[in-house]
C-alpha cells in the first residue's frame, strides 16, 4: 500500500512539465501523459484509492519507466517519483498482475534459483587470485556469473570478478567470496515483488552477518545492499574502494593514455550521489573525456530491472553510444546491467543502423588491467 507521505507527494505535482522535458523514455515514445512521471504518479493515486482497475495498459505505463531519477532530480515540488512508481508496481503485483520482464523473465528466474541452498556454483572455480570462503572483507559478485550464460555473449564475468580479486590482492587484501550468496534482489525490489526481495535479503543478510566491509562491482548491488539492507558492514562500490586505496598509497595505477569516458549508472549516480570516485580513478589511468551529458545529467542505458527492453530502450542506448564515440574510444561503466545492455546492442547479429565502433568495458576489468607492478 502506498503510504500517506507518498500520496501527499503526488498532490505536490503542479504539472509544470519539467519531467516531460527530461524523460529519456518519453522523448522516444511521445505518447500520452501516462508515459511520463506526472501521469504515472496520477495512475499510482488512482490505484491507491481504488479508482483504477489493473489492465495491460496501466501495467505497461508503470513498467515502461526505467526509474533513472532524472524526473525526480528536476522536480521543483520534490516529489519522490521513483518511490511512488515502485510502490504502485507493488500494488499491481499484489493484485495479481504479472511483471512484464524482458527475455522471458529469465533473470527473475535466476534470482529465485539463487535462493536455493547447495546450488552448484561452478563459476567460483574460474576465479584467478587469492580469496577465501569467509572473512571480514567480502566481495559481492551479484548476478553477473548467472546472467552471462543466459545472454550467451561475453560480459567478462570471469575477468571482472578475477579483476576485483586482483585489485584487492595487490593492495594486500585477500577477500572472501561466499558462493552461497544469492542475488541482491534489486530487480525484485524495483519490479514490486517485495516477498521475493525480502527472501533474498533475509538469506544474504544471514550470510553477511560477520562481514565488516562489503565491496561490489555492481552499482545495483551497491545501492541495494547499502540502502535496502540493514547490515553492520560498510558497503562500497569498487570505484570508491579503489579511490581510497590509491589515496592511501596502497595501490598504484598506470596511465595508458587511452581515450576513455565514463557512463554514470543511474543507481550509482542519481540514486546514490556518487559521481567523483570513478572519475578520480579513471583520470589516473587514461586520457579522460566527458560526454555531453554526464554526472547528474547523464543519460541512462534505457532499462531498469530487466523490464521492457524494447525498441525505445534500444534507441536510448544508441544515443548514449553515439555520445561516447564523439569523445572516446572506450566507454567504461560500473554497472553490470549497463554493461549488458550496451554490449547487447554491439553484439546483435542484425545491428541497429548507426551503432558506432566503440569498446565497452567494465570499470573493474579496466582498472585491473592498469595496475602498476611493484606496489
**153 or 204, which is more confident:** 204
The answer on pLDDT for 5 being more than 60 is yes
* Mean of pLDDT values over 274-280: 98
Burial environment of residue 213 by CB neighbours within 10 A (0 to 12, 13 to 18, 19 or more): middle
Q: Which pLDDT score is estimated for 103?
A: 72
Task: List Cα–Cα distances, 320 to 31, 71, 217, 330, in angstroms.
Answer: 22, 18, 21, 13
Q: Which pLDDT score is estimated for 146?
A: 84
What mean pLDDT is reported for the chain?
92
pLDDT bracket for residue 350 (50, 70, 90): low
* Mean of pLDDT values over 218-233: 97
15: region left, alpha or beta (phi > 0 left; psi from -120 to 50 alpha): left
Q: Which three cell numbers stand for residue 194?
A: 517485495
DSSP class of residue 253 equals B
Determine the 3-state secondary structure of 23 from DSSP: coil
The answer on pLDDT for 152 being more than 80 is no
% of residues, the chain, pLDDT over 70? 98
Task: List Cα–Cα distances, 334 to 160, 251, 293, in angstroms.
Answer: 11, 19, 17
Q: Which pLDDT score is estimated for 108?
A: 86
**34 or 119, which is more confident:** 34
Q: Which run of H or E residues covers position 331?
A: strand 330-333
The answer on pLDDT for 374 being more than 70 is no
Q: Which pLDDT score is estimated for 187?
A: 93
The answer on pLDDT for 268 being more than 60 is yes
pLDDT bracket for residue 358 (50, 70, 90): very high
Q: Which pLDDT score is estimated for 53?
A: 92
The answer on pLDDT for 349 being more than 60 is no
The answer on pLDDT for 347 being more than 60 is yes
Handedness of CA 201, 364, 250, 375 (dihedral sign): positive
DSSP letter string, 77-132: T---HHHHHHHHHHHHHHTTPPP-BSGGGHHHHHHHHTTSTT---GGGGG--S--B
pLDDT bracket for residue 344 (50, 70, 90): confident
Mind listing the pLDDT tens digit for each residue in 34-68? 899 999 999 999 999 999 999 999 999 999 999 99
Q: Which residues are registered as beta bridge partners of 89?
A: none
Task: List Cα–Cα distances, 276 to 110, 243, 248, in angstroms.
Answer: 32, 9, 17
* Mean of pLDDT values over 11-25: 91
The answer on pLDDT for 165 being more than 70 is yes
The contacts found for 131-134 with CB under 8 angstroms, 24 or more apart, are: 131/165, 131/174, 131/175, 131/176, 131/177, 132/174, 132/175, 132/176, 132/177, 133/176, 133/177, 133/178, 133/179, 134/176, 134/178, 134/210
pLDDT bracket for residue 1 (50, 70, 90): low
% of residues, the chain, pLDDT over 90? 74
The answer on pLDDT for 155 being more than 90 is no
Mind listing the pLDDT tens digit for each residue in 308-337? 788 888 899 999 999 999 999 999 999 988
Q: Which pLDDT score is estimated for 75?
A: 93
Mind listing the pLDDT tens digit for each residue in 235-251? 999 999 999 999 999 99
Fold of 4-94: Fumarate Reductase Iron-sulfur Protein; Chain B, domain 2 (1.10.1060)
Domain limits of the chain? Answer: 4-94, 103-246, 253-368
The answer on pLDDT for 375 being more than 60 is no
Q: Which pLDDT score is estimated for 224?
A: 98
Handedness of CA 331, 337, 342, 347 (dihedral sign): positive
DSSP letter string, 26-41: HHHH---GGGSHHHHH
The answer on pLDDT for 126 being more than 70 is yes
Q: What gap in Å lies between CA 318 and CA 301, rounded to an integer? A: 9
**150 or 49, which is more confident:** 49
Q: Which residues are registered as beta bridge partners of 213?
A: 137, 234
Residue (of 51, 50, 44, 52) closest to 7 by Cα position: 44
Amino acid at each position: 500500500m502506498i503510504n500517506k507521505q507518498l500520496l501527499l507527494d503526488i498532490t505536490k505535482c503542479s504539472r509544470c512539465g519539467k519531467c516531460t522535458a527530461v524523460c529519456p523514455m518519453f522523448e522516444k515514445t511521445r505518447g500520452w501523459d501516462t508515459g511520463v512521471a506526472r501521469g504515472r504518479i496520477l495512475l499510482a493515486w488512482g490505484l491507491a484509492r481504488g479508482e483504477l482497475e489493473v489492465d495491460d495498459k496501466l501495467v505497461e505505463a508503470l513498467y515502461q519507466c526505467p526509474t533513472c531519477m532524472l524526473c525526480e532530480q528536476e522536480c521543483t515540488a520534490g516529489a519522490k517519483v521513483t518511490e511512488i512508481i515502485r510502490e504502485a508496481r507493488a500494488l499491481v503485483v499484489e493484485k495479481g498482475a504479472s511483471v512484464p520482464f524482458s527475455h522471458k523473465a529469465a533473470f527473475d528466474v535466476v534470482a529465485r534459483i539463487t535462493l536455493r541452498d547447495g546450488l552448484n556454483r561452478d563459476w567460483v572455480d574460474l576465479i584467478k587470485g587469492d580469496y577465501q570462503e569467509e572473512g571480514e572483507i567480502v566481495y559481492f559478485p551479484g548476478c553477473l556469473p548467472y546472467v552471462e550464460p543466459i545472454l550467451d555473449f561475453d560480459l567478462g564475468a570471469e575477468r571482472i570478478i578475477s579483476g576485483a580479486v586482483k585489485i584487492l590482492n595487490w593492495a594486500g587484501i585477500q577477500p572472501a567470496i561466499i558462493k552461497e550468496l544469492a542475488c541482491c534482489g534489486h530487480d525484485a525490489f524495483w519490479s514490486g515483488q517485495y516477498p521475493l526481495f525480502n527472501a533474498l535479503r533475509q538469506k544474504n543478510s544471514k550470510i553477511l552477518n560477520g562481514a565488516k566491509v562489503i565491496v561490489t562491482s555492481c552499482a545495483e548491488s551497491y545501492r541495494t545492499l547499502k540502502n535496502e539492507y540493514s547490515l553492520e558492514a560498510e558497503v562500497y562500490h569498487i570505484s570508491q574502494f579503489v579511490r581510497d586505496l590509491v589515496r592511501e598509497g596502497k595501490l598504484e595505477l598506470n596511465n595508458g593514455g587511452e581515450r576513455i569516458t565514463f557512463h554514470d549508472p543511474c543507481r550509482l549516480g542519481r540514486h546514490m550521489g556518487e559521481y567523483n570516485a570513478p572519475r578520480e580513478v579513471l583520470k589516473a589511468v587514461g586520457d579522460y573525456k566527458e560526454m555531453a551529458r554526464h554526472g547528474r545529467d547523464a543519460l541512462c542505458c534505457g532499462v531498469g530491472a530487466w523490464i521492457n527492453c524494447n525498441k525505445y530502450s534500444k534507441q536510448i542506448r544508441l544515443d548514449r553510444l553515439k555520445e561516447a564515440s564523439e569523445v572516446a574510444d572506450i566507454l567504461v561503466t560500473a554497472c553490470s546491467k549497463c554493461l549488458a545492455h550496451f554490449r547487447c546492442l554491439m553484439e546483435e547479429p542484425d545491428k541497429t543502423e548507426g551503432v558506432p565502433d566503440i569498446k565497452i568495458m567494465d570499470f573493474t576489468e579496466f582498472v585491473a588491467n592498469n595496475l602498476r607492478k611493484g606496489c
